[in-house]
């Protein structure tokens, strides 16, 4: 009985870890896509956002 419970808990833990890795991989690829998009924008307009004028 105890061994079955331990096996079930291990299987659940592995499934949750797998789901977490899938989500992390998805988020990583989205971040890379956002960086590529920002780099493309900078190549078209290299001076946009390069300076900030602030008056106090």
Which DSSP string corresponds to 1-52? -HHHHHHHHHHHHHHHHHHHHHHHHHHHHHHHHHHHHHHHHHHHSTTTTS--
Express as a percent the part of the chain with pLDDT over 70: 98
Write down the pLDDT at residue 11: 94
What's the mean pLDDT in 14-31? 92
pLDDT band at 19 (very low <50, low <70, confident <90, very high): very high
Show me where the domains of the chain are located. 1-43
């Amino acid at each position: 009985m105890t061994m079955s419970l331990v096996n079930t808990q291990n299987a659940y833990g592995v499934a949750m870890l797998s789901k977490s890795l899938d989500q992390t991989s998805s988020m990583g690829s989205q971040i890379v896509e956002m960086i590529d998009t920002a780099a493309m924008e900078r190549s078209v307009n290299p001076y946009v956002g390069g300076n900030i004028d602030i008056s106090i």
